Structure 1
Amino acid sequence: METNRRPNLPVKDINVVLTEMCRWKVKQIDRLDSFQDSNFMVRYETSDVSQLNVDQRAIVKIIHSHNFCESKMEREREVMEYLTTEGFICTTCLQFPDEKWFHITDDGKFVIRMFSYIPGVTLKSCLPLVDSRCLLRELGSFIGKLHRTLQAVSEKIVVAARPNDPWILQNHSTLNTLMKDLEDIPREKETLISEILHKFENTVMTSYEELKKGVIHNDIQDRNIIVNYKDGKLHKLGCSARMNDTRAKYGLIDFNGIACSSYLFEVAMAIRDLMVDMEDISHFEIGAHFLAGYKEEYPISEEELRLLPCCIQVGLCQYIIGGESEFQKQPDNEYTRSGADGAWTMLQILQKSTNASILKSWKEIIDS
């Protein structure tokens, strides 16, 4: 089993490319947490702004060349550029001096990509400091706007299917395959996850063709949502600072997971993450306040609401099985297990409530 799947291109080699090819004066390179690729935040100067004392930053991503697909990269770039033209704050690709959007190292082993840097902090780091109910409604509104906007490009930007990717919810069967290969998984955990996946197959996937679908980000979680600075200060979050356009407050990064899938599945994954990470509000309130904001911008039917609790549970299974599977391949990378323990705890909590009681609690808040 491969023990370190992240690319191990030395920082000094990255520095050489940025210095000699891009003509950057590199001031600092910091490694960032990452799942499979290697990501770095780079502070640099260029000759045209060196006298202006401008703090220039970029994100540099290193990818194994055998994992790189140029057509997939192009789809990601098109989505980012389209959202930017529609008023969203999101990272965009940076070109190399040869006008390409990527650079292959001389030995052919690695691909280097560069992205613009969004100033701010991750939403995860803000969660303890905010009015949770207002934040949830704002995030729901933000993702509703995102889905409404992406609906317009779903016919123009064709994202290739990835049937073996366990992080795309309709590929839930791949989780069963991964689970069989896990070492020392407790029987209780294996049994519950198998039951949930079976239920998903028989209740959600039988209605899959009727669900609204299109291009989705597919990795909207609180580490990929950036709360932006304005005039050097962090936007204050909460009811007292409600903004007419949430696109001006929240930025999106890491479009590596874009997929063609159901919008409902992305809603489920967003609520899943918030249920795992938010501690000052009841678990069922989280989904209700999020959905109240979402429905202001994009419709969600009664049938989709009925299916949503099961989708959230499969999203939690993704964290437990997908994260543990990746950790066993690269045990030096704890980041791969982020959220796994909290997901298991949440999955057990959800088993104590019926679908009907969850929907009832949501609707009481949504309709209030």
Structure 2
Amino acid sequence: MEKEGEILLKPGQQIKPHVPNEVVHQLVFKLYNLEVASVKELNSYDDKNFHVTVKSDSALPDIHDACPHGYVLKVLNSLDSKAYNLIDAQNEMMLYLAKTGLPCPRPVKNIDGKSMSLEHLKDAQNQSTDQYIVRLLSFVPGKILFSVPYTKELFFQVGELVAKTDLALMGFKHDGLKGVDRIWNLIAVPKLVDFVYVIADEQKHSLSMEVIENFKSNVIPFLQELESGPIHGDFNEQNILVEADKEDPEKYSISGMLDFGDVHFGYYLFDISIAICYMMIECKSMDMLDAPGHVLAGYNRVRPIPQKEFDLLKDCISARFSQSLVLGAYSYSQNPDPYLLTTAQRGWQCLKTLWDCPKSELYKRWNEIINSYANN
């Protein structure tokens, strides 16, 4: 097994597994002794994820793993499948957070009593390929945040969720989180220069390079001064669940979180910056530059933001925009799935608007919004 630090994506590398529906049926039966009733593929960048329902839970190796809402079969990409210890850390983190009362998926034990296994799969030409880690997780019901109208109340709750997760994970320890070098970690932004070639538009290419260089010069040198710990690493609009109010179906509240594929030992500043980036992209209910203020107000209510972190927010939010846009374009060049361009639909304009606004103006309006919650 390769070391965790050797799972960094390289240009030209194709890592997404080929998993037709019949293979989903076979894997679920072979590994979990369950007969699939229905299969629905879920969105994913590099993995293959399927929501499956089964004909009966009674044959589960551990009946305590039974989930009334079905399960998610996850077949990891060939790169992450080499990081067995990291995936074990993801499984343990989900169990850890669930015990703290934060709703998230839980790993299901297979017939060998394990939370995952390595399986040989074949490609579309029926040729044998690499081994892939296969897991089954409990399905957490709810709508994804992306699918409902955004409100300042939801943004505030997103900030609270990120901070509560960061605080809860301060007590989580696992060797699998150490030394994880991945292209989606925000600290890997300088490595984006190897992927920017996929951005053909000159202005967008130039903007990406400017943001990357700014991150290298204005963020990297100050990281040792920031608070760090285990982080989720990808609080985006597809990974946060909401539920409708029973008395008012038009009103939603945060109900859970998904996708622990980017967890690592990182900086709390990065977790909140990533969340803010994705809240801004689909923000149509208010000025997108005000959205961060509401997210920060919720975060600050749970974990007060140190001034050193606050001062670097624009740099880190912009860096995540660039990272998401560049890697989304790269992934699309390897696998033309429209889902991979979700960020690009509004992201470039959002990045330009954010980048063109002076820090002093941004921070003034964000602080005003944070302060407006002081007496609530």
Q: Counterpart of 2:76 in 1: which secondary structure?
A: strand
2:280 matches 1:275? yes
Give the deviation of 1:234 after TM superposition. 6.8
Q: Which residue of 1 aligns with 2:137?
A: 115
Q: Counterpart of 1:105 in 2: which secondary structure?
A: strand
Q: Which residue of 2 aligns with 1:43?
A: 53
Give the deviation of 1:187 after TM superposition. 1.8
Q: Which residue of 2 aligns with 1:354?
A: 358
Q: Counterpart of 2:305 in 1: which secondary structure?
A: coil
Contact 1:41/1:60 (8 A) holds in 2: yes
Contact 1:118/1:228 (8 A) holds in 2: no
308, 315, 325: which is aligned to 1:320? 325
Contact 1:136/1:290 (8 A) holds in 2: yes
86, 95, 98: which is aligned to 1:81? 95
Q: Deviations over 1:120-174 (max 9, x none)?
A: 1111112x2x5x1111111111211111111222x555503233x2211111111
Q: Counterpart of 1:72 in 2: which secondary structure?
A: helix
* Amino acid corresponding to residue 263 of structure 2 in structure 1: I
Q: Which residue of 2 aligns with 1:160?
A: 178
Q: Counterpart of 1:214 in 2: which secondary structure?
A: strand
Q: Which residue of 2 aligns with 1:244?
A: none
Moved more, 2-11 or 333-342: 2-11
C-alpha change, 1:97 and 1:124, in structure 2 (3 Å) is: same
Contact 1:269/1:312 (8 A) holds in 2: yes
Q: Which residue of 2 aligns with 1:241?
A: none
Q: Which residue of 1 aligns with 2:237?
A: 222
List aligned pairs for 1:185-196, cutoff 5 A.
185-196=200-211
| TM-score, normalization by structure 2 | 0.85
C-alpha change, 1:65 and 1:339, in structure 2 (3 Å) is: closer
C-alpha change, 1:56 and 1:71, in structure 2 (3 Å) is: same
* Amino acid corresponding to residue 323 of structure 1 in structure 2: G
2:24 matches 1:14? yes
Q: Which residue of 1 aligns with 2:159?
A: 140
Q: Which residue of 1 aligns with 2:125?
A: none
Contact 1:225/1:253 (8 A) holds in 2: yes
Q: Counterpart of 1:9 in 2: which secondary structure?
A: coil
Q: Which residue of 2 aligns with 1:245?
A: none
Q: Which residue of 2 aligns with 1:176?
A: 193
Give, in whole Å, the separation in 1 of the partners of 2:171 and 2:314. Answer: 27
Give the deviation of 1:356 after TM superposition. 0.5
C-alpha change, 1:232 and 1:280, in structure 2 (3 Å) is: closer
Give the deviation of 1:270 after TM superposition. 0.5
Give the deviation of 1:22 after TM superposition. 2.5
C-alpha change, 1:167 and 1:234, in structure 2 (3 Å) is: farther
Contact 2:36/2:53 (8 A) holds in 1: yes
Identity %: 24
2:71 matches 1:58? yes
Q: Deviations over 1:228-286 (max 9, x none)?
A: 47989979426xxxxxxxxxx42111101101111111111101001001111112211
Give the deviation of 1:63 after TM superposition. 2.5
2:308 matches 1:303? yes
C-alpha change, 1:11 and 1:201, in structure 2 (3 Å) is: same
Q: Which residue of 2 aligns with 1:207?
A: 222
Q: Counterpart of 2:356 in 1: which secondary structure?
A: coil
Cα RMSD for the two superposed structures:
2.6
Give, in whole Å, the separation in 2 of the partners of 1:120 and 1:61. Answer: 19
